[in-house]
Chains A and B, each alone.
Chain A
Amino acid sequence: MSSPTKKRILVIISQSPFCGNTGREALDATLAAAIFDQHVSVLFCGNGCWHGLRTNKANPVTGKSTSDSWLAAPLYDIEGLYVSSETLAGKGLDTEQLIDNIQVIDDQQAKQLLADHDLIMSF
């Protein structure tokens, strides 16, 4: 377990980027956690996997895309962006369609990711 001032936080995003403004606000919370010098990783689940699409243009609500911001995640010391291969297969997506810094893992590794973190921020 990490020290109380530096925790391992897993952000789970399961909402689609095309539905409301959740994507923007999940991104803001993720960046805030990273700025507060925590260990932060992100797991895109279910319809959340659409956030990783490299061809995403603007969100219908805000008129802005969050894909570029996710691409810049390493600059904020976000340790990893993950999606499971089972999730991708369920949506008919493959790795080539995702932004470069998303790692594809299997469901077992996703389970391990949950176990390896102190707490979860869920969107």
Chain B
Amino acid sequence: MKLSLIILGSPYGSQSPTSALAFARAAIDSGHQIYRVFFYHDGVYTASKLSISPQDEKFPGEEWANFAQQQQLDLVVCISAASRRGIMDQQEAERHELTHASLKSAYEISGLGQYIDAAIQSDRLITFGN
């Protein structure tokens, strides 16, 4: 089955990105395909490259990035939700005349159209968090 995951909760204020990752691993192990992972609301904080986790703790942003690279997954961060929360790629940072970009590599900034496209193309849309 073709699945897309929507992550709405923040990596430290909620279990949403961590649960979604466990789900994604189990789904792929069971032979399903992940079409897209879309980060929206506070879920966009997962994609911050300015966040660091202590070595003996889980690091949802890094774990998602590694998993996505292994599995060639599409990790998309909503541009409007991200801009409000200080998550910018280089191009957005320059457009807003900001000194720094904050988007981790492996993630990509795009619009809500990617969410709707995921809804159209996937057999199931699974939302984590609210």
Contacts and interface: CB of A to CB of B under 8 A. Distances in A.
B112 A4 contact: no
Interface stretch (B17-25, B60-68, B87-95, B118-126): B118-126
A121 interface: yes
Nearest to B123: A119
A21 interface: yes
Interface residues of A, number: 21
A29 B40 contact: yes
Given A25-B41, A36-B120, A38-B119, A122 B113 contact: no
A88 interface: no
A33 B130 contact: no
A71 B122 CA distance: 30
Contacts of B125: 119-121
A21 B84 contact: yes
A25 B120 contact: no
Interface in B79-130: 80-81, 84, 111-113, 115-117, 119-122, 124-125, 127, 130
B47 interface: no
A110 to B, nearest CB: 18
Given A29-B112, A120-B125, A123-B41, 10 more contacts: A4-B121, A14-B130, A22-B130, A25-B80, A28-B112, A29-B40, A32-B116, A38-B116, A119-B119, A119-B122
